[in-house]
Amino acid sequence: MSISRILIANRGEIALRIHRAAHEMGIETVAVHSTADAEAMHVRLADHAVCIGPPPAGDSYLNIANIISAAELAQADAIHPGYGFLSENARFAEIVEAHDIVWIGPKPEHIRTMGDKVAAKKTAGELGLPLVPGSAGAVDSIDEARRVAAEIGYPVLVKAASGGGGRGMKVVPDEDQLESLMSQAKTEAKNAFGDDTVYIEKYLGNPRHIEFQVFGDGRGNAIHLGERDCSLQRRHQKVLEEAPSPVLSEEDRMRMGGICADAMANMGYRGAGTIEFLWENGEFYFIEMNTRLQVEHPVTEAITGIDLVREQIRIADGKNLSCAQDDITFTGHAIECRINAEDPFTFAPSPGKVSHYHAAGGMHVRVDSGLYAGYSIPPYYDSMIAKLIVYGRTRERCIMRLKRALEEMVIEGVKTSIPLHQQLLEQEDVLSGDYSIKWLEDWLREREV
């Protein structure tokens, strides 16, 4: 088997990122696009392009039949889903493979298992990953919910078994509010995901979000590439990510990384994955696994020197992992800022035409973006328009370089989140690395007072 032409079932910066990795491997690319993305950079640079429908994602980037037809039309022998859209859709992966097209991603059964939070938690426990105390599975009745909550102690978190992004998730401070908030969570989950299944976990007071990058060859071999700290979040959406975490010791890194790699080896996992934990008082608690490439993967690439997309393609092509665990070294520090087309403090979307664009540059500065002057940012998709990734030999030098790069970055014609990042890098807690997943929202509320 040898992949020679990849259809990229995505858009924006990640589609461009995949295109670049493929071309560096001598592989042709096929861009699919909605009518709104006809002038997008990944469409311009790809070897072939196929329009798959009108702007709504359901009619284009989520339209499985149209994407498979595009792959057959363009004679693509592999499909890379990027992140978002269909990247964690097990049925799509099965359909791709049923058409004798290589799926550049995990095995469909692993996508399905880890996409169901109840099944994922059960599987994680069986694989030896540390869990947040909570229900063994779905909670179907209020009586069962009361029993579980009493056992683990309030406050508790009611969470939807399907989906994410904070929907179908409620913090319950005491028993008096359990029935009402559980009902709200089930209703939200049903409306957002078509599934009202919920489960209950212990609510951690002030944790960090730390995730481990893993890779498996699908044949019982797996490695980890260290952790990323993604604790600066707003409404469960990551804003800034860094690697390594400011709070982990080398001993903790290798211990937890080893546990994650062993779990993936025992699972027979294939390709890239991220195991996400809450971390509090030196303890890790599994929350979920993303069976895809992460938005924040460049910070891992910066400190390891390993091209994760290239590795994904190699593994899908039937090759072995390009390195063993002992070959991987972690050097320096990297930070990624997600730059969105939105008001930096109200977070209202700001689509429109980019009148001027200048990417930051210089040593160890990377910009992943499909922007160019004259490009019109469509209003139909996620507001992230660029990622600024900066590396330094130390965290302090990395932050100084990032401040300089943010000053250089020019995006005019629309509002962006650049001023937010500039203000964050003036805050003592951020500079010292002393923050949790609640820090950003608390800081934003204080600014409004």
From CA 373, how far away is CA 13, in angstroms rounded? 15
The two three-digit tokens of residue 266, written as one number? 């025992």
Closest by CA to 407, choosing from 369, 373, 360, is 360
For every residue of 221-273, DSSP letters joined together read -EEEEEEEEEEEEETTEEEEEEES-TT--HHHHHHHHHHHHHHHHHHT-EEEE
Q: Which residue is it, tokens 């990297």? A: 334
303 close to 390: Cβ distance less than 8 angstroms: no
Strand order in the sheet with 156-160: 169-172, 156-160, 198-202
| Helix 117-126, helix 108-115: angle, nearest 10 | 110
**β-pair partners for 241:** 336
Give kind and range of the element (H or E) at residue 312: helix 308-316
Distances (CA, A) of 295 to 124, 169, 273, 408: 23, 23, 12, 22
Active site residue 292: yes
Radius of gyration of the chain (CA): 21
Chain centroid, CA 403 distance in Å: 24
Which of 17, 292, 338, 401 is catalytic? The answer is: 292
Residue 366, beta-bridge partner list? 389
Q: Which residues are catalytic?
A: 292
